[in-house]
Amino acid sequence: MPPQNPPSIDEVLATIAERDGELNSVVHLFDPPLPPTGDGPLRGEVLMVKDNIAVAGAPWSAGSSTRLGSPATFDAECVRRVREAGATIIAMTNLDEFAMGASTASSCFGPTHNPWDITRTAGGSSGGSAAASAAYAVATLGTDTGGSIREPAAQCGVVGVKPSGRQIPLHGVVPFAPTYDVVGPIAPTVWRTALLDDAMRCTDELSDAVQRGARGSLSGMVLGVVTQMADHRNSLEVRDRFAAALDACEWLGAQLVEVDVPNIVDSLSTYMTTTSIEAIPVLEEHAARGPLGEEAARRLEHALSVEPAEVARAVRHRRELNAQLRRIAAGHDLLVSPSMPIVAPALSRPGLDDPLAAPRTDWWTVEANIAGLGAMSLPNGRGKESGLPVGLQLMCAPGTDARMYFAAACLEPHVA
């Protein structure tokens, strides 16, 4: 079982001084750290926050040069809640510009490197949070519009959760696509993600579920294996690890059934079209302040030039997939899939070396955002070819996140 206790602030500062020169996960260090404003379950937790979430005094850059020079003057509501629950905030983390991307390559601070292999991407857009969590054993906050918490968590070998529903307010979060955006935790263990998630939702049911799960089994649970997410489009080493995780689920007593979601085809283009259109106001507002980076500019151009017929198709498909996935999720205790079809791609040329690498990382994550499901990436060992972390994705019907945490806690010692 991974260590459950957070490191001390001094330990974290020492490892940052040693490693962040090469990793580039931190974009701002609070000196001195921001103390908690209350006492609660997060007492002793050392926290870093993605820099699209407001923390008073942070750059609040969202990875964009257009936002530099006007630091946040207040704490986002989710930040206020975790500080009140006892967390100490020590740093802000790197991200793709406006959280658009899957590698942090579009950040105005330059990319974050993967702690397991610095020639590889840490993933994105919450790449700084996931890399810091893996390298410094800190808990972090991220945001997930189409996979931005789960993808970097999978690539860095930590736990990342996209909560279902809207219990965590978006107040103080730089918007990307507001009907998709959610805030969620990334941390080295299921327990620490649950504590953070609970604090942000003002509940305690998730950490309760983890305590029960760590002592429990999956017997009586029916897990749906999504056929389309488990097929040959995953690399061989990802398929191997997924098969091993399914064995662990069965050994723990779960019943596995195959589920077909034919509408998944095209989900990425549906996601891209609908999110780009939602992002128009925020992109136009920032374009008026200074030049956007390449990726953000490309999305704005796409949004402004997309054919009405494509918008109509995407909106219709979003609605159909939402209904279909919710129905399927509600018919099973959980759905399972690999978090990503590949391990972390090379950083030098994401999308150039391998033109399919960048969008491929989003293949199995956007569906949970489209349907509003809860979803988690759990470390699932290392690929036997690359030796790099692989993630297992658990997805749950809206409002059943406690069950997902229960299963994750039960599985954690058997798959990591």
Q: Which one-letter amino acid corresponds to residue 413?
A: P
State the nearest-atom distance from the C-beta of 14 to ligand GLN, in Å. Answer: 31
State the nearest-atom distance from the C-beta of 193 to ligand GLN, in Å. Answer: 17
Binding to ligand GLN (CB under 6 A): which residues in 309-368?
Answer: 362
Q: Does 104 bind ligand GLN (CB under 6 A)?
A: no
Q: Does 145 bind ligand GLN (CB under 6 A)?
A: yes
Of the candidates 126, 120, 124, 130, the one whose C-alpha atom is nearest the C-alpha of residue 153 is 130
Span from 100-108, 112-120, 130-138, 222-230 in contact with ligand GLN (CB under 6 A): 100-108
Which position among 61, 125, 129, 339 bears the catalytic label?
125
Beta-ladder partners of 396:
374
- 46: which residues sit within 8 A by CB, 6+ positions away? 6, 7, 8, 9, 12, 33, 87, 88, 90, 138, 139
Torsional sign, CA 59, 63, 69, 70: negative
State the nearest-atom distance from the C-beta of 125 to ligand GLN, in Å. Answer: 4
Q: Which is nearer to ligand GLN, 278 or 412 (CB)?
A: 278
Span from 6-14, 55-63, 99-107, 385-393 in contact with ligand GLN (CB under 6 A): 99-107
Q: Which is nearer to ligand GLN, 98 or 191 (CB)?
A: 98
Q: Which is nearer to ligand GLN, 48 or 100 (CB)?
A: 100
Q: Does 99 bind ligand GLN (CB under 6 A)?
A: yes
Q: Does 100 bind ligand GLN (CB under 6 A)?
A: yes
Distance of CA 260 to the CA centre of its chain: 25
162 catalytically annotated: no
Question: What burial letters (b/e) apply to 248-272, b meaning 16+ CB within 10 Å?
Answer: bbeebebeeeebebebbeebbebbb
53 close to 143: Cβ distance less than 8 angstroms: yes
Judging by DSSP bridges, how do beta strands 222-226 and 334-338 pair with one another?
Answer: parallel
Q: Which is nearer to ligand GLN, 177 or 392 (CB)?
A: 177
Question: What burial letters (b/e) apply to 214-247, b meaning 16+ CB within 10 Å?
Answer: beeebeebebbbbebbbeebbbebbbbbbeebbe
* DSSP structure class, residue 173: B
Q: Which is nearer to ligand GLN, 128 or 381 (CB)?
A: 128
Quick note: the x/- pattern for ligand GLN over 59-98, rule CB under 6 A, is ----------------------------------------
Q: Does 146 bind ligand GLN (CB under 6 A)?
A: yes
Beta-ladder partners of 225:
258, 336
Cα gap 264→33, rounded to integer Å: 44
Which runs of consecutive H residues, i.e. helices, occur in 24-161? 77-84, 127-136, 150-156
Q: Which is nearer to ligand GLN, 197 or 278 (CB)?
A: 278
Binding to ligand GLN (CB under 6 A): which residues in 159-178?
Answer: 176
Number of shown-chain residues binding ligand GLN (CB under 6 A): 12
Q: Which residues bind ligand GLN (CB under 6 A)?
A: 99-102, 125, 144-148, 176, 362
Catalytic residue positions, numbered: 50, 125, 148
